């Protein structure tokens, strides 16, 4: 309460302050300066870093909301740049006009600590002249910064608003950016305190008559005043004496409102919510006026097929009456004859003339609109229908007359509205036939109509909730739908079996309300349902509903690490090897005795806040499997307050997101015996933290190490190679080191306490280079002494300060060290004659220190039940600790149950590195864990993944929702008339015939599209389609794209189709952000031609053959981390890798964390002399197979022969094909 009161006072002060300082609205010249569109455009970033428009400031040290509106821009900077301008945020496309000055202002807030930023209005080209550039330091709280330019003496064009951001690692938020003429003006915006997010949305249409209004309350509202009415003005000015009747609810505590009775069809209503604060102030915050429009009484039927007794020409067929041709946005018709139907003039044409309309379903018809024939000659010749008989039918064979009608004559002028409205009185029909009795001309037995539209009353269930194909639906979902108008009760069918729902055997209940609660569902399942509307008194008692589907949430998050803070330290829940508390106190925990350390006490939350899978925090775990006094493995464990039942909801899987760091940059090998070659990089061994490569053993007590540095690569004058003793493997550990340099002689350096600056060149002898001997000795008292020698027998102290007292623990690390003194360069040193004295134990272990790298160690997860039964499972990748991107690890809970763990009563969860059952000394590193969950992954139904394209096979008999643009026409057909190679539709009975009548200036000027999609971030999609040219070949560009300027494509590819059916496909990359709106576009303006398309599919993931498929190649994605069971023959090598090093086009692995790298050193006599093969396959008779693979070259192009073959002489091939791969990932098949 105290926080809220303070906030309210602050808000009131802000309001008062704005009033007193005459805050005003200036004209902001920046589009989307507050990021309220929900995306960045037209902002852009360059250089390293990520950006995202957000509504919550997750992980902020000082919790706050966006300062303006509901959105802000979140920017993460992963590293400091060589120059602060190496990364930036920009808003381009400006002109700074001569004679004016401008002010740039923005609100900034860092996630934690302070962060610098440079404001720079600038010339957007070399030499990038700045105007009023200024650097600022942002803090953890929203603060507005501004800079004002001088008056410009000449136009600056092009110009950009630029923020340079690469001063240091960190992340921050930006909001309320303004660029305006003149000096600084305080902002007029204020924190959001009004009601928001209305349901129905502002401006919504087709809203149910029985709608219940709801909204999101303001943050301080105690009660709400609801205004509702049919007049915008009344709702807007209320409350006044004349508008009191629109105050429908005063001081109501709830955030919903149910208007009295049913609202009127097609009417627009207005409403407003005023938020009222709690006493004593009871401040009223007036809300915006929202509106919505109620559903119409009747809806147009969109899928109509027209046939007729005859037609005049091919371009005046009956289909013209139902395709919208000739109509403008106001439903007014043209005078173009080819936009209309006209019957044949031949004396042999059937009489009487008729036109018949078939709907895609049975409808209750409300009325019929008719646009009569409207050619320019209509007043003279009179093709229009005058007298007509209307009939209707359910089956197209048995007809019932509606009566005879006269249709008014059209004027033969442009922009003609419909001429007749005929009431159909709610008849139930699938067919309507109009038979011509007379025409307005009376000269010829030739008649025509321009357009016909039918309206129906919706009697079937519609608008399902969850929406069709919705995912992530909660297990306790309540199904909801919009009832058919005549429905008295509703039959609900529900099952995981789609066929059972479709055929009506999965009836679960008959209800009288428009909702149904199916009970607790299972994780990761696809469910199907439909609602049949029932009215025993209706002409059609049962109205069959469509089959809808949704999938449930895949998992329940057990731990997301978001709740931990300085007040709730993570190590008090996840117990590590350090423990916590003070011995002898009740809260003391000694730890688990392993080499683990959880958390990061340099972060405000004591968690990791940059390296996260989702949210704002993850758990860092430092592992050291050779830590003195600890077990040789590293584990952290969480004990649940109550046993967890991990069997409910059909749970079968435990999943964990993890990542580590890549393998050590450095290396350490012995050969010949007694000689050691070390490679390493690192900025230096200096300052408060070191970066180098270290090979070490353990020393207990006093001892020494001696080595001859045989050689040292000159990566820098201060590259260092020598002997070292250090207390820990932390970068800031106390240490002592004697080393040789390329140009600065032999040197003694040390650090006294953790995190202090290194004592550099404490003693130094110049003029010495490798080869040279060095010795470092530690006494029982902690005195470290350095000496050196040219021959290993004659020793002398290193200068006058060759000794220092450095206090360390009894057990320390003793060994050899190398730093290149250049973080981007790897150097090499050779050591020999390495000897130690004292209690030195263990084998050589080597790793990077201070350089983010991990030693390869097993990763495991363990469970223990309430009875004490426990088991662990190890990750299949023995070097999982070196996976450097967040990767999900799914674990079958049955594997724990098989080892005796009761997964219905889980008491403890363990995460660890090493082998707890047989510990051995190992390396160290840091792991990050996030989003531990239980559940099930959604499995695609049999037949492959769900097709996201409605009517992808054109089996609806109409194009909708497909469309063409440019010089092309399209028609759904059942026969491929005129095809050079006769074939039927490839899928079902129908396909789409496309006729390109003219090419554009560009091939993209003509197209076929399927719009209305959203491609989601973090996913990739495959678009596949069967195509066939009428004759010859034809180029077509397949392009999943942003359906708005700049029409960005994702995986676009030009394919060449032939005169036989074949499937073509493209797969997008994994998307960094949502693509909304998106369209599946086929550019077809390469040539005048005809072709057919069928079986179009859009689905998540990589290519799957029609009907679904299982990958028959074991380890086809190399995610086991090894090559097996693949076989490489001939003079070539292959290695499973995680990083693609040396590629001309830098890209990551296309699938998962691994791929196979193949090095062919030289061409051979025959291309088949070198090959890669998966072994052990059998191709079965009566089946066909597809072989596909993603490939890329290091540079240029390369020919590769795909050959499914008999794996024995005579090596018969089946569909082998030579393909040319390029230097970017692409799928070949």
pLDDT of residue 451: 98
pLDDT band at 23 (very low <50, low <70, confident <90, very high): very low
pLDDT of residue 25: 63
CATH architecture of the domain with range 196-294: Sandwich (2.60)
pLDDT of residue 619: 97
pLDDT band at 1137 (very low <50, low <70, confident <90, very high): confident
Query: How many Å is the maximal CA-CA distance in the chain?
Result: 129
| Spatial distance between the Cα atoms of 442 and 438, rounded to a whole number of angstroms | 7
pTM of the model: 0.63
**Domain range 557-662+856-935, its CATH number among 3.40.718.10, 2.60.120.260, 2.60.40.10, 3.50.50.60:** 2.60.120.260
pLDDT at 24 over 80: no
| Spatial distance between the Cα atoms of 1028 and 973, rounded to a whole number of angstroms | 14
Residues of the chain with CATH 2.60.120.200: 667-849
pLDDT band at 1090 (very low <50, low <70, confident <90, very high): very high
Q: What is the DSSP string of 878-906?
A: TTGGG--S-EEEEEEHHHHHTTT--TTSE
pLDDT at 1226 over 70: yes
**Contacts with 124 (C-beta within 8 Å, 6 or more apart), sequence order:** 92, 94, 158, 159, 160
pLDDT at 485 over 60: yes
pLDDT band at 1008 (very low <50, low <70, confident <90, very high): very high
pLDDT tens for 1144-1166 read 887 777 666 678 899 888 888 88
| Spatial distance between the Cα atoms of 108 and 115, rounded to a whole number of angstroms | 10
Q: Give the mean pLDDT of 369-389.
A: 96
**Domain range 462-553, its CATH number among 2.60.40.10, 3.40.50.970, 3.20.20.70, 3.40.50.2300:** 2.60.40.10
pLDDT of residue 202: 94
Question: How, if at all, do strands 213-216 and 906-913 pair?
Answer: unpaired
Given CATH 2.60.120.260, say whether it is the number of domain 962-1100: yes
pLDDT tens for 773-828 read 999 999 999 999 999 999 999 999 999 899 999 999 999 999 999 999 998 899 99
Instruction: Give the phi and the psi of residue 499 in degrees, each rounded to 5.
Output: -65, -40
pLDDT of residue 1162: 85
pLDDT at 544 over 80: yes
Tell me the sheet residues that pair with 785: 777, 803
pLDDT tens for 670-688 read 999 999 999 999 999 999 9
Tell me the sheet residues that pair with 924: 624
pLDDT tens for 978-999 read 999 999 998 888 999 999 999 8
Residues of the chain with CATH 2.60.120.260: 25-181, 308-454, 557-662+856-935, 962-1100
pLDDT at 80 over 50: yes
Average pLDDT, the chain: 90
Cis peptide bond N-terminal to 606, omega within 30: no
Computed from CA positions of residues 903, 904, 909, 911, in that sequence, does the dihedral angle turn out positive or negative?
positive
pLDDT of residue 1107: 64
- Burial of residue 1121 (CB within 10 Å: 0-12, 13-18, 19+) is buried
Q: Give the mean pLDDT of 1172-1191.
A: 76
- CATH code reported for the domain at 667-849: 2.60.120.200
Question: How, if at all, do strands 906-913 and 634-644 pair?
Answer: antiparallel
| Spatial distance between the Cα atoms of 1077 and 1088, rounded to a whole number of angstroms | 30
Residues of the chain with CATH 2.60.40.10: 196-294, 462-553
Task: Name the CATH superfamily for 25-181.
Answer: Galactose-binding domain-like (2.60.120.260)
More confident: 117 or 1119: 117
| Spatial distance between the Cα atoms of 120 and 904, rounded to a whole number of angstroms | 60
pLDDT of residue 1: 20
pLDDT of residue 1115: 76
pLDDT band at 689 (very low <50, low <70, confident <90, very high): very high
How far is residue 181 CA from its own chain's centroid? 39
pLDDT of residue 16: 34
Q: What is the DSSP string of 416-428?
A: BPPSEEEE-TT-E
| Spatial distance between the Cα atoms of 660 and 887, rounded to a whole number of angstroms | 10
CATH architecture of the domain with range 308-454: Sandwich (2.60)
Nearest to 656 by CA among 889, 379, 838, 402: 889
pLDDT of residue 382: 93
pLDDT band at 1062 (very low <50, low <70, confident <90, very high): confident
pLDDT at 148 over 80: yes
């Amino acid at each position: 309460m105290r926080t809220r009161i303070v906030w309210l006072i602050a808000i009131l002060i802000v309001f008062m302050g704005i009033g007193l300082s005459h805050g005003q609205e200036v004209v902001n010249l920046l589009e989307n300066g507050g990021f309220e569109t929900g995306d960045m455009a037209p902002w852009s970033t360059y250089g390293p870093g990520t950006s995202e428009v957000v509504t919550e400031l997750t992980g902020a040290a000082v919790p706050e909301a966006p300062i303006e509106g509901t959105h802000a821009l979140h920017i993460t900077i992963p590293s400091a740049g060589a120059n602060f301008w190496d990364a930036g945020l920009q808003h381009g496309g400006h002109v700074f006009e001569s004679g004016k000055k401008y002010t740039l202002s923005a609100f900034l807030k860092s996630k934690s600590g302070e962060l610098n930023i440079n404001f720079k209005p600038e010339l957007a080209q070399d030499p990038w002249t700045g105007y009023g550039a200024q650097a600022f330091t942002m803090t953890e709280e929203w603060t507005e910064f501004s800079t004002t330019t001088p008056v410009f003496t000449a136009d600056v064009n092009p110009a950009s608003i630029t923020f340079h951001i690469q001063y240091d690692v960190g992340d921050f938020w930006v909001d309320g950016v303004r660029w305006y003429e003149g000096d600084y003006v305080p902002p007029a915006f204020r924190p959001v305190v009004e009601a928001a997010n209305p349901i129905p949305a502002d401006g919504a249409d087709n809203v149910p008559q029985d709608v219940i209004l709801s909204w999101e309350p303001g943050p301080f509202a105690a009660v709400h005043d609801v205004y509702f009415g049919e007049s915008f003005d009344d709702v807007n000015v209320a409350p006044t004496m004349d508008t009191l009747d629109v105050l429908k609810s005063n001081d109501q505590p709830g955030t919903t409102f149910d208007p009295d009775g049913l609202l009127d069809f097609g009417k627009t209503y207005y409403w407003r919510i005023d938020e009222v604060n709690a006493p004593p102030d009871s401040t009223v915050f007036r809300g915006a006026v929202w509106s919505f429009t109620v559903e119409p009484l009747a809806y147009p039927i969109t899928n109509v097929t027209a046939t007729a007794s005859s037609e005049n020409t091919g371009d005046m067929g009956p289909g013209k009456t139902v395709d919208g041709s000739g109509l403008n946005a106001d439903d007014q018709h043209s005078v173009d004859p080819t936009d209309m139907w006209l019957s044949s003039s031949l004396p042999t044409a059937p009489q009487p003339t008729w036109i018949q309309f078939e709907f895609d379903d049975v409808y209750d018809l409300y009325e019929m609109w008719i646009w009569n024939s409207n050619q320019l000659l209509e007043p003279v010749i009179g093709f229009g229908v005058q007298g007509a008989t209307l009939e209707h039918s359910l089956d197209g064979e048995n007809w019932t007359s509606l009566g005879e009608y006269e249709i008014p004559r059209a004027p033969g002028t442009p922009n003609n509205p419909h001429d007749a409205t005929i009431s159909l009185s709610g008849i139930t029909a699938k067919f309507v036939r109009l038979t011509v009795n007379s025409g307005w001309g009376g000269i010829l037995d030739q008649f025509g109509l321009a357009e016909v539209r039918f309206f129906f009353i919706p009697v079937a269930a519609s608008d399902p909730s969850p929406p069709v194909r919705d995912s992530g639906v909660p297990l306790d979902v309540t199904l909801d739908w919009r009832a058919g108008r005549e429905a008295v009760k509703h039959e609900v069918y529900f099952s995981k079996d789609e066929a059972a729902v479709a055929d009506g055997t999965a009836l679960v209940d008959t209800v009288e309300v428009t909702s149904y609660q199916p009970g607790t569902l299972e994780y990761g399942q696809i469910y199907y349902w439909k609602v049949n509307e029932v009215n025993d008194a209706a002409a059609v008692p049962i109205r069959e509903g469509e089959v809808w589907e949704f999938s449930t949430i895949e998992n329940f998050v057990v731990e997301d690490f978001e709740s931990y803070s300085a007040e709730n330290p993570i190590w008090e829940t996840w117990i590590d090897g350090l423990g916590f508390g003070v011995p002898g106190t009740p809260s003391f925990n000694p730890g688990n005795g392993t080499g683990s350390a959880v958390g990061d006490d340099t972060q405000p939350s004591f968690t990791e806040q940059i390296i996260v899978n989702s949210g704002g925090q993850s758990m860092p775990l430092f592992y050291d499997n050779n830590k003195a006094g600890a077990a040789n493995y590293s584990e952290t464990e969480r004990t649940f307050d109550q046993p967890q039942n991990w069997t409910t909801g059909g749970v079968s899987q435990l999943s964990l997101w993890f990542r580590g760091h890549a393998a050590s940059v450095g290396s350490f090998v012995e050969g010949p015996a007694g000689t050691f070659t070390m490679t390493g990089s690192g900025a230096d061994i200096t300052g408060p933290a070191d970066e180098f490569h270290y090979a070490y053993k353990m020393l207990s007590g006093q001892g020494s190490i001696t080595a001859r540095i045989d050689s040292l690569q000159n990566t820098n004058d201060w590259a260092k190679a020598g002997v070292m003793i250090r207390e820990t493997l932390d970068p800031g550990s106390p240490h002592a080191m004697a080393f040789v340099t390329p140009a600065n002689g032999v040197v003694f350096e040390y650090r006294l306490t953790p995190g202090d600056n290194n004592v550099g060149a404490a003693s130094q002898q110049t003029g010495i280079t490798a080869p040279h001997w060095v010795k470092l000795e530690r006494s029982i008292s902690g005195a470290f002494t350095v000496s050196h020698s040219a021959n290993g027998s004659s020793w002398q102290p290193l200068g006058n300060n060759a000794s220092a007292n450095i206090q360390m623990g009894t057990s320390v690390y003793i060994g050899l060290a190398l730093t290149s003194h250049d973080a981007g360069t790897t150097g090499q040193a050779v050591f020999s004659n390495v000897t130690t004295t004292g209690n030195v134990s263990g084998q050589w272990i080597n790793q990077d220190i201070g350089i983010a790298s991990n030693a390869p160690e097993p990763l495991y997860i363990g469970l223990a039940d309430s009875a004490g039964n426990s088991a662990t499972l190890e990750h299949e990748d023995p070097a999982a600790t070196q996976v450097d991107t967040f990767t999900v690890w799914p674990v079958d809970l049955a594997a724990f149950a098989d080892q005796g763990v009761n997964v219905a009563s889980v008491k403890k969860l363990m995460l660890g590195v090493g082998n707890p059952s047989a510990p051995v000394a190992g390396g160290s590193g840091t792991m990050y864990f996030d989003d531990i969950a239980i559940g099930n992954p959604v499995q695609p139904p049999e037949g492959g993944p769900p097709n996201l394209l409605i009517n992808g096979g054109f089996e609806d008999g109409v194009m909708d929702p497909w469309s063409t643009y440019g010089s092309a026409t399209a028609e759904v057909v059942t026969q491929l008339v005129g095809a050079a190679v006769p074939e039927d539709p490839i899928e079902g009975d129908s396909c789409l015939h496309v006729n390109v009548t003219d090419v554009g200036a560009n091939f993209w000027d003509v197209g076929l599209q399927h719009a209305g999609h959203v491609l989601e971030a973090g996913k990739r999609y495959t678009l596949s389609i069967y195509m066939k040219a009428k004759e010859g070949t034809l180029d077509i560009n397949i392009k999943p794209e942003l359906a708005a300027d700049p029409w960005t494509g994702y995986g676009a590819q030009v394919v060449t189709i032939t005169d036989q059916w074949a499937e073509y496909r493209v797969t997008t990359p994994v998307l960094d952000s949502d693509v909304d709106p998106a369209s599946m576009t086929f550019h077809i303006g390469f040539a005048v031609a005809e072709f057919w398309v069928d079986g179009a599919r859009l689905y998540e993931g990589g290519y799957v053959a029609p009907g679904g498929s299982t990958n028959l190649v074991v380890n086809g994605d190399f995610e086991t981390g090894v090559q097996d069971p693949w076989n490489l023959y001939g003079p070539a090598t292959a290695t499973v890798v995680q990083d693609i090093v040396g590629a001309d086009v830098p890209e990551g692995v296309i699938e998962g964390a691994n791929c196979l790298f193949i090095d062919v050193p030289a061409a051979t006599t025959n291309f088949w002399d070198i090959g890669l093969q998966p072994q052990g396959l059998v191709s079965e008779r009566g089946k066909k197979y597809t072989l596909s693979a993603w490939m890329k070259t290091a540079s240029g192009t390369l020919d590769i022969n795909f050959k499914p073959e008999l794996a024995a002489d005579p090596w018969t091939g089946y569909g082998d094909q030579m393909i040319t791969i390029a230097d970017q990932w692409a799928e070949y098949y």
